[in-house]
């Protein structure tokens, strides 16, 4: 089963200081930094990462760009389609295991109802800080997560138990 990490692009930009335009100089630079960090994370985690940016007010049609040989897919939503709508459509129509990274509580609830997992921008930042020294700041030590050492079947079973516990 394919595993996808979906980043709510501008939500991540707005939530984390590392992407603030006062640090990067422009929104374009912030966007490219998110995509660059997604490439680093994809290389380390083995997940396909999809970064969705809201382009609903753009007169151009929605488009998709593949970066890093397809390890990262950058999607710009279509006119009159929000990034949230595009993310919901992805989770609903593609097969695989999805984790959606957003600070948007309404989107988190929606994707959870669709069977996806959710994470926050701070968790994405923590993932970046755990990358090996070649692709991150070397003063932050690497700490592998337990979930990275468990087989997918065990992770699915644990997730199923967690979901049953929250339904009570």
- Residue 141 pLDDT greater than 60, yes or no: no
| Residues forming beta bridges with residue 117, ordered by sequence position | 99
Average pLDDT value over all residues in the chain? 88
For residues 160 and 108, which has the higher predicted lDDT (pLDDT)?
A: 108
Range of the domain at 41: 3-167
Q: Do the Cβ atoms of 119 and 100 come closer than 8 Å? A: yes
> How is residue 29 written in tokens?
């630079």
**In the 8-state DSSP scheme, what is residue 67?**
E
Could you give the number of structural domains in the chain? 1
Q: Model confidence at 43, in pLDDT bands (50, 70, 90)?
A: confident
* Cβ atoms 75, 64 nearer than 8 A: yes
Q: Give the residue among 86, 41, 39 at the shortest CA–CA distance from 63.
A: 86
pLDDT at residue 158 tops 60: yes
């Amino acid at each position: 089963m394919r595993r996808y990490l979906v980043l709510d692009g501008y939500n991540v930009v707005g939530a984390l200081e590392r992407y603030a335009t006062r640090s990067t100089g422009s929104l374009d630079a912030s966007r490219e930094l998110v995509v660059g960090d997604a490439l680093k994370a994809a290389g380390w985690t083995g997940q396909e990462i999809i970064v969705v940016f809201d382009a609903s007010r753009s007169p151009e049609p929605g488009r998709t760009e593949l970066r890093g040989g397809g390890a990262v897919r950058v999607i710009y939503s279509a006119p009159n389609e929000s990034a949230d709508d595009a993310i919901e459509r992805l989770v609903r129509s593609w097969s695989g295991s999805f984790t959606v990274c957003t600070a948007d509580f309404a989107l988190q609830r929606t994707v959870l109802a669709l069977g996806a997992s959710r994470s926050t921008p701070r968790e994405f930042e923590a993932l970046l800080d755990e990358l090996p020294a070649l692709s991150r700041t070397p003063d932050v030590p690497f700490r592998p997560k337990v979930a990275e050492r468990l087989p997918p079947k065990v992770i699915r079973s644990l997730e199923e138990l967690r979901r049953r516990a929250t339904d009570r």
